[in-house]
Amino acid sequence: MRGSEVKSGKSQKSSAQRHINAGFVVAGLLMLLIYLVAQHFAVGASHVVITEAQVIMDNVKAPDETVVITEAQRIMDDIKAPSETENGKVVCNMEGRSDTCEVDGDVRTNGTALSVTLVPASRSEHSEWMIRPYSRRFASLRKVTVTQLQDRAAAAPCTATHDMPAVLFAIGGYAGNYWHDYADILVPLFVASRRYNGEVKFLISNAQFQPQWLVKYRAFLRGLSRHDVVDMDGDAEVRCFPHVTVGLRLDKEFSIVPELVPGDRRLTMADFTRFLRETYALPRGAVAASRSRGQKPRLLLIHRGHYRRITNEAEVARAAEAAGFEAVVAELGGGGGGDEAEQARVVNAFDVVLGMHGAGLTNAVFLPPGGVLIQVVPYGKMEHIARAEFGEPAADMGLEYLDYSVSAEESSLMETLGPEHPAVKDPDSVHRSGWGQVFELYLAKQNVRVNVTRFAPTLAQALHHLRQQ
């Protein structure tokens, strides 16, 4: 019994000693690693740290070797992380419709040169990209030079330092056309910057050619960023940022692909229209929200003052009234410096937007969810274009989308060109001849006179949808 107690005591003592020894080993290893880390940050030799730490790990032979190795591996992982990112990185995407670069690290912008430069902490490979800061790469405007320097010595010193990221984009291209304002700039800008919750700087090029654009959309820009925009064309500063997005991506016409949104948030087009309602303080967030029992749903027929007109607007409005709507015909502003907030409030008061294919239908973004967009599609097999530009986006917004395809008999082309003209008789041949002919014949030279009897089922379908809300 006594011998057993002595043996047990020796065993406990031996175990305790082993734990003490292991503790010394762990402490010694950690102190050595800390020393090596300090040396690493002093001389930038990350491979030395990792190699030395690995040698120590390989030679550790202690009862608690697993604990030691695990702790050492954790420290090694912490050492590797900064060594991989200390020089920053440039990731450019040249696929699809757009060219963009994400520049992360010590990033410096120069408005005079229209350049974005990544300055490395240590020597790096020199690389350069030319990026058109607009969502359609074939738009004609000045490109941004994105450069990854070889070393710090070539970098211009900062004259203004910002602790927030920036997005650099242009408002040239097709800006000024209302649909392109949204499809090419505002929706992609929302996708690029919403993740920053207002803490982002907008660097804008080409602004001098569209001075009213910034006026028209100032509330929108302020909704995405709490900071003043920078006119890059007149900016002599060398600005330093931790991250700069160069250019805007367009992944789907006038819409958002949630899986391609940068950051952790999977934004949708419904999120975009919700943002608009918040930005412009729009009262209606659902079609039924302000409709009392027995009150007729409201239909807005958008008037076009030039080509692609509905020549019998009054008759169409009466047909809508007969179907059960309160109908209003109105011409809405497009591009330029109009009051976007006031226009948004006007449209938000309606349940249905009806109009000919064209930029005016962009106003559907202000309809309350559950509303209806009715697109009158010009003659000439234009359905695929109409649906891509408005049909799919409307569905993504949470709207009901209906289209009405004009027949040859309803088109002015029948009278101006005659029934035997290829544009009337064989639309496929026009499409084969290229976009120029398609635009010229079906979009620029066509008006329509809607057959209200033929159109009546579309109006009934819209009313039925609203009654289900």
pLDDT of residue 38: 43
Half-sphere exposure of 235 (CA within 13 A, CB side): 24
- Three-class SS state of 411: strand
CATH topology of domain 298-468: Rossmann fold (3.40.50)
pLDDT of residue 56: 39
Structure tokens, 7: 């043996």
Q: In DSSP terms, which residues pair with 104 in a beta bridge?
A: 89, 243
Half-sphere exposure of 328 (CA within 13 A, CB side): 15
Please write the tens of the pLDDT for every residue from 128-141: 999 999 999 999 99
* DSSP category for residue 156: P
User: What is the pairing mode between strands 201-205 and 166-170?
Assistant: parallel
Radius of gyration of the chain (CA): 32
Domain boundary assignment for the chain: 88-267, 298-468
469 residues of the chain, pLDDT tens digit each = 444 444 444 444 454 455 445 444 444 544 544 444 444 433 333 333 334 444 434 444 444 444 444 454 544 444 444 334 578 999 999 999 999 999 999 999 999 999 999 999 999 999 999 999 999 999 999 999 999 999 999 999 999 999 999 999 999 899 999 999 999 999 999 999 999 999 999 999 999 888 899 999 999 999 999 999 999 998 999 999 999 999 999 999 999 999 999 999 899 999 999 999 999 999 999 997 556 667 899 999 999 988 899 999 999 999 999 999 999 999 997 655 568 999 999 999 999 999 999 999 999 999 999 999 999 999 999 999 999 999 999 999 999 999 999 999 999 999 999 999 999 999 999 999 999 999 999 999 999 999 999 999 999 999 999 999 8
pLDDT of residue 78: 44
Q: Measure Cα distances from 227 to 164, 199, 293, 343 in Å.
A: 10, 7, 45, 25
Q: What is the DSSP string of 415-441?
A: HHT-TTSHHHH-HHHHHHT-HHHHIII
Cα separation, 215 vs 318, whole angstroms? 37
Tokens 């330092």 found at:
161
pLDDT of residue 294: 76
The four Cα atoms 230, 232, 236, 240 give a dihedral, to 10 degrees, of 70
Please write the tens of the pLDDT for every residue from 413-437: 999 999 999 999 999 999 999 999 9
